[in-house]
Amino acid sequence: MIIDSHVHIGVFGRYDMKPAYVIDSMERYGIDYSLLSPITGVEFGQEHMPLPDDWPYDQISANEEAIDFARENDGKIGILPWCRPNAEGFNDAFVAMIDKGGKYIKGLKFHPYHSMLPINSPQNEPYFAFAAERGLPVLVHSSGDEYSEPRFVYEAAKAHPDITFIMAHVGLLTDNNEAIELIGSLPNLYGDTAWVKPESGLKLMKKYGAHKLLFGTDNPIDGPDTYAHPFYKVYFGEFREWVSPDDYELLMHGNAERIFDL
């Protein structure tokens, strides 16, 4: 079994992540279940450009579109609603959307770069209180930019030990070393493999345990054959020879099943 814990749909800028790409790639590459967020929930574009005046999505409509997709593909898709703490923030409409999503809601997703707001900012606290109340894990983009530093995810996780945080990318565009140490230092902080070199994934698992890393890819950010990227070919293939069978099962589905209560 394979669970991809980091998937998207939506068209935004240079990204064309059609829902059909997700289902087609899952079938062709043997993915059993995907945890998905709508990229149309962004608050700012690349290089932090404002969204077009006619941008058709808000925090509710972006996520409701994703929930509808999950309903159409029952048993294959779970939703991590994309949070917009800068432009809109936590409100009653957000709670109603979560309640309406029912069994398809599996966690929350934050992208500090596209919100221009570090994850440890006060604006995120109402979301965290809700996540703690509902038992929802929190997936957070991490990178080397000023809003997405791994230490900010660490600080948020440390301040909220009752919430499970997943540090997506284990520090994108870095050597991953700082992020690995931070993930290893807290029991409620984990990483995913999206654009993480397999050697870094192995280092995290060997040093801090196979329970600390989830398989994730950003599919279909590079189109319907995102899973053909050399990194993911290794995770699908020779990586299973680098770790024990039990540890490999944890990486590819067991950790996601436990963390997201699948």
Span 192-224, pLDDT tens digits = 999 999 999 999 999 999 999 999 999 999 999
In this structure, what DSSP letter does residue 169 have?
A: E
Give pLDDT, residue 9: 98
Give the number of other CB atoms < 10 A from CB of residue 113: 20
Q: Is the pTM of this model over 0.85?
A: yes
Q: Can you tell me the mean pLDDT for 54-71?
A: 97
Give the number of other CB atoms < 10 A from CB of residue 136: 21
Residue written as token pair 């995102």:
226
Please state, in angstroms and rounded to a whole number, the distance separating the CA atoms of residues 184 and 96.
35
Q: What is the pLDDT of residues 123-179, one digit of tens each?
A: 999 999 999 999 999 999 999 999 999 999 999 999 999 999 999 999 999 999 999
Please state, in angstroms and rounded to a whole number, the distance separating the CA atoms of residues 254 and 94.
29
Q: Are 87 and 94 in contact (CB under 8 A)?
A: no
- How far lies 152's CA from each of 61, 99, 147, 213, in Å? 28, 29, 8, 19
Q: What is the rounded (10 degree) CA torsion for 15, 204, 185, 85?
A: 10
Q: Can you tell me the mean pLDDT for 56-81?
A: 98
262 Cβ contact list (under 8 Å, min separation 6):
3, 33, 78, 106, 256
**Overall size of the chain counted in residues:** 262
Give pLDDT, residue 212: 98
- How far lies 169's CA from each of 78, 87, 94, 98, 155, in Å? 20, 24, 26, 26, 17
Give pLDDT, residue 13: 87
- Percent of the chain scored above 70 by pLDDT? 100
